[in-house]
Structure 1
Amino acid sequence: MSVTSPSTAPLLSIDALTVHVPEKERIGGGLGDLTLVDDLCLSIRPGERVALVGESGSGKSITARAILRLDPHLRLGGSIEWEGRELIGAPRHVIRALRGAEISMIFQDPMTALNPVLTIGEQVAEPLLVRGVSKKDAYQRAAEMLDGLRVPKAAERLKAYPGQFSGGMRQRVVMAAALIAEPKLLIADEPTTALDVRVQEQVLDLLEEQSRELNLAVLFITHDLAIVAGLAQRVAVMFRGRVVEEQPVDDLFARPQHPYTRGLIGSVPRLDADPAVRLMTVADYLQEGSAA
């Protein structure tokens, strides 16, 4: 676990964030703007690992993309501060300077996140090359990053292509490209999608290891509460575009407060459950909570 002090100033402070699809951008038309994220508040301190959890469509990825302003057609409201600097409304060159250098992002599917016609070396070294680092130094650093993420024969494999790597190895390449410029915050959006359970565990272990060694803050986005227990220190639960609960990870599992959180935890099948007893769904917990 990181030794981040509660008194440490946050790297990232999100306050009352709203994300809207303007009426003119809505597919198929529609009356008025469409709200995707509503009044979201979240902060992350140096070295802290925070999980943003919820079902597909709850607004997790949209929130992550809003931090880096990756969807210019969406309208943002509220505040996103990075080390005290407001990002909403900041000039595009300011945001571009942050991407990769101070805030990096791993996207969902390692099988499609890499360009199939570029070598591994080209893709891992790119964040340094665009910042003026020489090709020789950038490639040397790329080999070191891959070696640190336990890619066998890293220096030799810089000339390989993504199609020559397994899913787990591709995800390590994606992580290397995200970390090579030594960012302060890594946003990992469903980084274990399409990976088998054993490889998922390896990727999560690497994320935790890198966070501890580099004092790297991590915003980990997932729909699966089960995989955050060993990684996150704090969990925020999203439901219909809002954070409905936020607790330290152990407290969340021991004493979930919101019916939706209880539903996410309770709807996971257990090996010791009676197969003859119907498993409660998230909707059952929400209905039970509204009736209470």
Structure 2
Amino acid sequence: MTEPVLSIQNLSVRVPERARIGGGAGDLTVVEGLDLSICPGERVALVGESGSGKSITARAILQLNRALVYDGSIRWDGTELLGAGERRMRRLRGSEISMIFQDPMTALNPVLTIGQQVAEPLVVRGVARREALRRAAEMLDRLGVPKAKERLKAYPGQFSGGMRQRVVMAAALIAEPRLLIADEPTTALDVRVQEQVLDLIEAMSREMSLSVLFITHDLAIVAGLANRVAVMYRGRLVEDRPVDELFENPRHPYTRGLIGSIPRLDADPDTRLQTVGDFMATEGPTV
């Protein structure tokens, strides 16, 4: 069996009392006892409602919230990341692990050109500016941005939402990382553009042998993308299984609720749509 490139074991994340917004006594645990691994080239979907701990888990991998308290282990290629210094993490971010953040409308700096922002991960690693821009145009072209070389001097406001997301993806992939963390990458995009973005992520994963951690609250969009689905509920992992098995026979009532609340085209319009709460009268076993 292939060894995982990323291995998370018994991860717990707490917000210390001093950092809690609005006060509150004691530390607040937002992720507890999480185990998750990703193998080379594997696409894993981390699914759950807003507030379940998905994004906090993703940001913990890259140590983006230094004010939080972490326990457990996050190992990348066998090397422990929890407790790693900022200098080590800066070398890792972008070159080995990249992240796409939620909203393409706000992920880009409006006063910097597209070329500057896509080329930046290479420039900060010592690549000459001209070469970095050349490779930026190549990456944008691979991701389907028309007239990519000409548009390097354009600004984010001149791009549609779908094109901005392609730009964000280009910046994340230009340094050829081995793991891409995509945090709700289809937020604020219409259904057709969502499909295009998902197709791009799958295509780049295959082309670059790229591992993907795909974070979403929408279980409906992961069936054609993920090899495996991990479901989070209230900061805990409650199910982690191959995608086909999970959809055919969900074990936890929360997973059944996520699946059962997906609208169906063949449903009776007069019938009330079920909610996750309808399935949560009793909580089943975790993973």
TM tier, shorter chain? over 0.9
Q: Deviation string for 1:245-281 (max 9, x for gaps)?
A: 0110011100000000000000112121123322221
- The equivalent of 1:233 in structure 2 is 227
- The equivalent of 1:256 in structure 2 is 250
Distance 1:170 1:44 in 2: 28
Moved more, 90-99 or 184-193: 90-99
Distance 1:155 1:91 in 2: 37
| Aligned partner of 1:105 among 87, 93, 99 | 99
- The equivalent of 1:246 in structure 2 is 240
Structure 1 position 280 matched with structure 2 position 270: no
- The equivalent of 1:37 in structure 2 is 31
Superposition deviation, residue 28 in structure 1? 2.0
- The equivalent of 2:56 in structure 1 is 62
Distance 1:27 1:166 in 2: 35
- The equivalent of 2:162 in structure 1 is 168
Distance 1:219 1:69 in 2: 16
Structure 1 position 271 matched with structure 2 position 273: no
Aligned residues: 284
1:90 partner SS: coil
- The equivalent of 1:3 in structure 2 is none
Distance 1:227 1:260 in 2: 17
Q: Deviation string for 1:102-159 (max 9, x for gaps)?
A: 0000000001100000000000000000000001110000000000001000000000
Q: Deviation string for 1:21-71 (max 9, x for gaps)?
A: 001111222111000100000000110000000000000000000000111
Question: Relative to 1, partners in 2 of residues 1:104 and 1:118: Cα closer, same or farther, differing over 3 Å?
Answer: same
Structure 1 position 78 matched with structure 2 position 76: no
Question: Relative to 1, partners in 2 of residues 1:109 and 1:17: Cα closer, same or farther, differing over 3 Å?
Answer: same
Structure 1 residue ranges without an equivalent (≥5): 1-6
Distance 1:203 1:152 in 2: 15
TM-score by length of 2: 0.97
Q: Deviation string for 1:218-250 (max 9, x for gaps)?
A: 000000001000100000000000110011001
Moved more, 42-51 or 24-33: 24-33
Counterpart residue type for residue 212 of structure 1: R
Superposition deviation, residue 8 in structure 1? 1.1
Superposition deviation, residue 288 in structure 1? 5.1
Counterpart residue type for residue 80 of structure 2: E
- The equivalent of 2:136 in structure 1 is 142
Superposition deviation, residue 289 in structure 1? 4.9
Structure 2 residue ranges without an equivalent (≥5): none
- The equivalent of 2:82 in structure 1 is 88
1:97 partner SS: helix
- The equivalent of 1:117 in structure 2 is 111
Q: Deviation string for 1:180-209 (max 9, x for gaps)?
A: 000000000000000000000000000000
Distance 1:73 1:274 in 2: 49
Distance 1:252 1:29 in 2: 39
- The equivalent of 2:202 in structure 1 is 208
How well do the aligned residues superpose, as a CA RMSD in angstroms?
0.9
Q: Deviation string for 1:47-101 (max 9, x for gaps)?
A: 0000000000000000000000111110111000000000001111111110001
Superposition deviation, residue 177 in structure 1? 0.2
Distance 1:44 1:149 in 2: 24
Moved more, 245-254 or 267-276: 267-276
| Aligned partner of 1:183 among 174, 177, 184 | 177
* Deviation >6 Å, runs of 4+: none
Superposition deviation, residue 171 in structure 1? 0.3
- The equivalent of 1:13 in structure 2 is 7
Identical amino acids, percent of aligned pairs: 75
TM-score by length of 1: 0.96
2:72 partner SS: strand
Counterpart residue type for residue 151 of structure 2: R
| Aligned ranges 1:211-226 → 2 under 5 Å | 211-226=205-220
1:287 partner SS: coil
Superposition deviation, residue 284 in structure 1? 1.1
- The equivalent of 2:120 in structure 1 is 126
Counterpart residue type for residue 68 of structure 2: L
